[in-house]
Structure 1
């Protein structure tokens, strides 16, 4: 596993949800805040998005936008202002009642628009710092031929559009898989363009990236600072300095946090016994894992498993 894959696996709950939306004329709808991540892909036409506390963003055909913290927002066919936002119709009402699309009284929309709108359910109690530092709105414009065009993201969007058009056999499996792929590519694209985030820098730093790969590949190994420095090909002081500077905590502190996060994921997603979980995450006994787990989570592994399973059931 790698850091991004592990970060997503630790947070994901249930299957992603998506809905194909077509709009024409004048319209303005509100998406409430959500305990997960929302996304929109504009398949045809254009529209505007205004996240709570943010600035208006114009979305064109082929654009993707990720709201990784589930921020409430408004979508409309015109450039939004505070007055228009107050008149926005709740999305569920607007979708079910086409007449509500004209509730804003505005008639200056450019054209019809078709979008793919969706949500990923996330467990925020175990948010990896890479995910935590994503901005409120990740806008990925469709800039074909430019350095930031992100061909993999464009290909995933094209595949999604084709799958939605055809509804071919196997769509029930294909669509969630493509939506998972879309999420990975949106995060990758943000990392490629980010100039401020710490984690894109961490994964682009040869020493830190090598250490992170080693820890995530085998979290149960008997890691020490010396052994990890050797895996990264540097001295122990160099590893400690560079790792702590970009990750925000020393290597062994990060390892402890990740082991317990991984244990929580296994308790939620597998039937493994506590003994098996302890072995997979590098603890010598179930007692040792329980003690560390209770210190980190404020509850026992058994109670955590029951609560996490209940949340997982609620996400389906």
Structure 2
């Protein structure tokens, strides 16, 4: 696994939810804050977005926007301020239902209307990788000619799958939505100026050490071995890695191992001893001690809470 894939995988839960919305006339809808990431892609027409933090974004055909921290926001057919939004916005779920009912009653889609692909990714924010935490409140990805070709291709494929139900659609859609998230984060990294993690992954020494740790987290890494992987001296690795990542290599590895363990506790029924071996700890006791120090809860209690949370989320869908 590479760092970006691992960062997404660490927090990603279940399949994303999505809606294709066709609407016309004047409208204004509010999405409350939630634990996860949201996105909107404009397939036709245009709209405006206003976050609870005051960020305003105008969106046109082909534009995509990612809200990586589940920020509450308002979508409207035209720009609105916070006062107007508070007075006129209807809850997002109600707006979806009303738009669907209006479309059914009206027949063929209005050429002058707006068409959106909107969705959410459910994330475990207790295990957010710093790369994900660094993402801004809103990532706007405009539809520039020649820009982010993979992202544009994913959007086109999604639109095509939504146009008609075809064999395999139930598999294709959630996987395309996962690809959409990867491509949106990748596009942000390509355009980011001065970001910590784009800089870290752009530095060959730091990137080599990260790649080694993420590829083989259970290996018996040392600063000397990681420096050899990066082709530099131990002091050079320590200096460059710490400056770009914010913690020394071995401290990052220790943190990443317990984050991986948390994912296995949540997603599998493996014993603590088996998980300890997979993430590089010599005994379940050693893992339990490190895990409790990082998360403030024992592995057993963490697993029980994760199961309760998953059951509650499944019941609310």
Fold agreement, TM-score > 0.5: yes
1:38 corresponds to 2:38: yes
* Partners of 1:13 and 1:315 within 8 A in 2: no
Deviation at 1:34, TM superposition (A): 1.0
Shift of 1:295: 1.3
User: Match for residue 104 of structure 1?
Assistant: none
Q: For the structure 1 residues 177 and 99, does the alpha-carbon distance in structure 2 shift closer, same or farther, using more than 3 Å as the test?
A: closer
Cα RMSD for the two superposed structures:
1.6
Q: Does 1:47 align with 2:59?
A: no
- Deviation for aligned residue 1:98: 4.7
1:117 lines up with 2:121 in the alignment: no
| Helix, strand or coil at the partner of 2:145 | coil
Cα separation, 2, equivalents of 1:279 and 1:254: 18
Alignment pair present for 1:17 and 2:17: yes
| Residue number in structure 1 paired with 2:80 | 80
Post-superposition Cα deviations, 1:151-210, rounded to whole Å, max 9, x if no partner, equal 000000001001111111221111110100000000000000000310001001000000
| 2:145 is equivalent to residue 144 of structure 1 | yes
**Structure 1 residue 233 and structure 2 residue 231: aligned?**
yes
C-alpha deviation, 1:90, in angstroms: 1.2
Looking at structure 2, the residues matched to 123 and 211 of structure 1 have their Cα atoms a distance apart, in angstroms, of: 26
Match of 1:310 in 2: 308
TM-score (normalised: structure 1): 0.93
**Runs of 5+ consecutive residues of structure 2 not aligned to the other structure:** 103-110
Q: Is the 8 A contact 2:22 2:99 kept in 1?
A: no
Aligned residues of 1:29 and 1:94 also touching (Cα < 8 A): yes
How far residue 312 of structure 1 moved from its aligned partner, in angstroms, is 2.6
* Residue in structure 2 matching 1:197, options 195, 199, 204: 195
Picking from 276, 279, 283, the partner of 2:277 is 279
Deviation per residue, 1:52-79 (Å, 9 max, x gap) = 1123211111111000000000111111
Is the 8 Å Cα contact of residues 48 and 79 (structure 1) preserved in structure 2?
yes
Work out the CA distance in 1 between the residues paired with 2:194 and 2:312.
36
- SS in structure 2 at match of 1:38: strand
| Contact map agreement 1:14 1:315 (CA 8 A) in 2 | no
CA contact (8 A) 1:89 1:100 kept: no
Contact 2:22/2:100, CA 8 A, preserved across alignment? no
Number of corresponding residues:
305
Deviations 1:255-288 (A, max 9, x none): 0000000110111112221111000110001111
1:163 aligns with 2:161: yes
Q: CA deviation at 1:36?
A: 0.4
Compute the displacement of 1:99 (Å): 11
Partner-residue secondary structure (3-state), 1:315: helix
Counterpart-to-counterpart distance in 1, 2:159 and 2:38: 18
Is this contact kept in 2: 1:94–1:100, CA < 8 A?
no
Distance in 2 separating the partners of 1:39 and 1:27: 19
Q: Matched residues in 1 for 2:23 and 2:304: separation?
A: 42
Check whether the contact 1:46–1:111 (CA below 8 A) recurs between aligned residues: no
Distance 1:140 1:270 in 2: 36
In 2, Cα distance between equivalents of 1:143 and 1:99? 30
1:174 counterpart residue number? 172
| Contact 2:68/2:138 (<8 A) preserved | yes
Give, in whole Å, the separation in 2 of the partners of 1:166 and 1:234.
54
Conservation of the 8 A alpha-carbon contact between 1:243 and 1:250:
yes
Q: Is the 8 A contact 1:93 1:100 kept in 2?
A: no
In 2 relative to 1, CA 222–99 (structure 1 residues): closer, same or farther, beyond 3 Å? closer
